[in-house]
Homo-oligomer: A and B are copies of this chain.
Amino acid sequence: MKYKTYPEFSIHYPLILTTFMKKSVRIYPDEIGVVYRNHITGEYQRFTWLEWYKRTCRLANTLSSLGVKPGKPGDPGDRIATMALNTHRHLELYYAVPCSGAVLHPINIRLAQDHIIYTINHAEDKILFFDDSFLSLVEAIYDKIKDKVEKFVYMSDKPGLPDTKIKNLYEYEALLEQESDKFQWPYLSEDNYATLCYTTGTTGLPKGAMFTHRALYLQTLHLIAHASFINDPSYVQLGENTVFMMITPLYHVHAWCAPFIYGFLSAKLVLPGTFTVDGFCDLVQTERVTTTAVVPTILALLIEYKDIDKYDFSSLKYVRVGGGALPLGLKAKVEKKIPGFSATSGYGMTETAPTTVRSFVKKYMRDWSKQKLDKVRVKTGLPIPGIEVEVIAENGEPVPHDNKTLGEIVIRGPWVIEKYYKNPEKTAEVWCDGWFHTGDLAKVDEEDFIVIADRMSDVIRSGSEMVPTVLLENLANMADFILEATVVGVPDKVWGQKPLAIIKLVPNSNKTENDFIEFLKSEGVDKGEITNWMLPKLVAIVDEVPKTSVGKYNKREIRKNLEKYLTIAKDMKQN
């Protein structure tokens, strides 16, 4: 008997981002789904899911009209670059490009210009979509990318094109207006490439991490499922009633997957352009934001803000902290300032799309005291169920769970990159024995929690011992009088390296370098968290600790200007 089966609609039904896009418009066509606030003018734009979906369809038709070619498994479609902030347009690109089969390359606009030029040429971007605010940047690099980039699309809240030397320049809104608001989204293969993200290149040239639809779909689904596992007694289920403010830039590893997680969840997506303290406050109050995700330094900026008490922050429930450990002290300060705003930590990297580890309260801990639970909540956490994360010693075996022995974090799972884009040498450095080697150091405690200690390149080697700087930084942040603190190693004749602490005090503090060391002694050494020889030998009080494009402490920059810091540092001879 003649019969036909449909594996593409059953056992091989593709795991593609299109599914996420279609969900909200189907269930909530008339609900506000996307809110954008221009961080300069303060003007709002609001879109229902249907309006946003129709714009995304128009954009997909635009891409087709501009000649964008889809790819297939193993063979990426045209690369479409963006230089854009967190706007509704950027979010439209986040779906229209991958779901029509091409590859989205969100450029980290805080990279050095040379690196931006490098990534555009390395990715062979065919079209560049850019915000009006990056016009001068695009003009500055134009001559070095114009042979590769065929077309430029200008995105602005104001109509019209600027007077510029850029050729083949189109206006985003005008392009969309010409197109139909219907689009037949293809059932792509799940192995189609969807995005291309470059590492920030703190250790050389940026490397390209390309993700398939499957990888992003599975990361999203596992992270959403993970929320169902939560035992934390302080957790309040918000479900689709979540209102998520996307602060992490969309040019930084998919804004930690937020467009996919919260898009699929039909959470209201609140886009602030770029982070400003007053914009944050205004949006929280107006949109009743419940949830956000930030790097630790953003939290520090927030609680410093003088007008913070003038706003209604009662809607805020959760903030996920990534891109650096969450110090217990910072968590406490935030929760004191904004009651109900619960901060938890996580760990990941560009190559893992990014999230792999999250703080978690185990089921038998539910009756512990808040104090004890908070210590659990800031431990970097447990692997997301569905991905494998181990900490291994040099012999390749897992380190003992003794909260002491350092090892390298290795990862494998559905959302880890297979290889760097056109970079076999770097691929060979990270993939070995079936594991992706992160270059990050951690220890594992008695309860199987992974505690990030350091980048392998940041650890301080003092004598035959290693000083894990993250441990010192976390401790330092517990002090009421500390806003920011980082620790780097400086050359030392006797020890090889000795620790230099660079700290920023809270405004109008009268504390000194000695107070800082005394704090580390009483809270660290006396309580067994660190040993005496780990104490910084030098302390520099500064107005600003240098940060990278993604808000992490920029130790590379500090090492580059080490002389400057050594000049102002106080030698803590008493240790």
**A residues bordering B, Cβ < 8 Å?**
1-7, 9-11, 13, 15, 19, 23, 26-28, 31, 191, 212, 214-215, 218, 221-222, 224-225, 227-232, 235-237, 239-241, 264-266, 362-364, 366, 382, 385-386, 412-414, 416-419, 424-425, 427-428, 431, 434-436, 448
Cross-chain contact of A6 among B4, B224, B418 (Cβ < 8 A): B418
Determine how close the nearest CB of chain B comes to the CB of A182; give it in whole angstroms.
16
Q: Are the CB atoms of B228 and A418 closer together than 8 Å?
A: no
Determine how close the nearest CB of chain B comes to the CB of A446; give it in whole angstroms.
12
With A414-B13, A436-B10 in contact, do A431 and B5 touch (Cβ < 8 Å)? yes
Closest to A436 in B: B10
CA distance A414 to B218 in the complex (A): 13
Determine how close the nearest CB of chain B comes to the CB of A321; give it in whole angstroms.
20
Contacts of A417 in B (CB 8 A): 10-11
Task: Point out which of A2, A264, A385, A427 has the most chain B C-beta atoms below 10 A from its C-beta.
Answer: A385
Task: List, sorted by A's number, 17 A–B pairs whose CB atoms are closer than 8 Å.
Answer: A1-B424, A1-B425, A3-B424, A9-B416, A9-B436, A11-B212, A11-B417, A11-B418, A13-B413, A27-B362, A221-B386, A224-B228, A228-B239, A229-B240, A229-B266, A231-B239, A237-B237
With A266-B363, A428-B1 in contact, do A6 and B434 touch (Cβ < 8 Å)? yes
Closest to A29 in B: B448
Q: Are the CB atoms of B385 and A264 closer together than 8 Å?
A: yes
**How many copies of this chain?**
2
With A19-B386, A424-B1, A427-B3 in contact, do A11 and B239 touch (Cβ < 8 Å)? no
CA distance A414 to B16 in the complex (A): 11
Contacts of A7 in B (CB 8 A): 418
With A27-B382, A448-B26, A448-B27 in contact, do A412 and B11 touch (Cβ < 8 Å)? no
Determine how close the nearest CB of chain B comes to the CB of A304; give it in whole angstroms.
33
Closest to A427 in B: B3
Closest to A4 in B: B431
CA distance A240 to B224 in the complex (A): 15
If A3-B431, A221-B222 are given as contacts, then 20 extra A-B residue pairs at C-beta distance below 8 Å, sorted by A number, are A1-B428, A3-B424, A4-B431, A9-B416, A9-B435, A11-B212, A11-B418, A13-B413, A13-B414, A15-B414, A19-B385, A19-B386, A28-B362, A31-B363, A221-B221, A229-B265, A230-B237, A231-B240, A237-B237, A241-B366
**Closest 9 interchain pairs by CB?**
A3-B428, A9-B412, A224-B225, A13-B414, A227-B228, A237-B237, A10-B418, A225-B225, A240-B363
Q: Are the CB atoms of A419 and B5 closer together than 8 Å?
A: yes
Task: Point out which of A9, A236, A266, A425 has the most chain B C-beta atoms below 10 A from its C-beta.
Answer: A9
CA distance A413 to B11 in the complex (A): 8
Q: Are the CB atoms of A11 and B191 closer together than 8 Å?
A: yes
CA distance A237 to B227 in the complex (A): 10
Q: Are the CB atoms of A363 and B431 closer together than 8 Å?
A: no
CA distance A400 to B424 in the complex (A): 55
Task: Point out which of A7, A23, A227 has the most chain B C-beta atoms below 10 A from its C-beta.
Answer: A227
Q: Are the CB atoms of A418 and B5 closer together than 8 Å?
A: yes
CA distance A27 to B239 in the complex (A): 26
Contacts of A229 in B (CB 8 A): 224, 239-240, 265-266
Q: Are the CB atoms of B431 and A215 closer together than 8 Å?
A: no
Closest to A385 in B: B23
CA distance A10 to B414 in the complex (A): 5
Cross-chain contact of A237 among B212, B235, B265 (Cβ < 8 A): B235
Closest to A232 in B: B239
Contacts of A413 in B (CB 8 A): 9-10, 13
Closest to A351 in B: B10
Closest to A230 in B: B239
Contacts of A26 in B (CB 8 A): 448
Contacts of A218 in B (CB 8 A): 15
Q: Are the CB atoms of B9 and A239 closer together than 8 Å?
A: no
Contacts of A239 in B (CB 8 A): 228-232, 235, 363
Closest to A362 in B: B27
Determine how close the nearest CB of chain B comes to the CB of A219; give it in whole angstroms.
11
Task: Point out which of A222, A228, A236, A240 has the most chain B C-beta atoms below 10 A from its C-beta.
Answer: A228
Determine how close the nearest CB of chain B comes to the CB of A363; give it in whole angstroms.
4
Contacts of A28 in B (CB 8 A): 362-364
Closest to A268 in B: B363
Contacts of A236 in B (CB 8 A): 237
CA distance A233 to B448 in the complex (A): 35
Q: Are the CB atoms of B364 and A31 closer together than 8 Å?
A: yes
CA distance A135 to B136 in the complex (A): 82
Task: Point out which of A221, A229, A266, A382 has the most chain B C-beta atoms below 10 A from its C-beta.
Answer: A229
Contacts of A13 in B (CB 8 A): 412-414, 416
Determine how close the nearest CB of chain B comes to the CB of A532; give it in whole angstroms.
35
Q: Are the CB atoms of A11 and B215 closer together than 8 Å?
A: yes
Contacts of A235 in B (CB 8 A): 237, 239
Closest to A212 in B: B11
Determine how close the nearest CB of chain B comes to the CB of A227; give it in whole angstroms.
4
Contacts of A427 in B (CB 8 A): 3, 5
Q: Are the CB atoms of B6 and A431 closer together than 8 Å?
A: yes
CA distance A419 to B10 in the complex (A): 9
Contacts of A241 in B (CB 8 A): 231, 363, 366
CA distance A31 to B28 in the complex (A): 42
Determine how close the nearest CB of chain B comes to the CB of A95; give it in whole angstroms.
16
CA distance A27 to B447 in the complex (A): 8
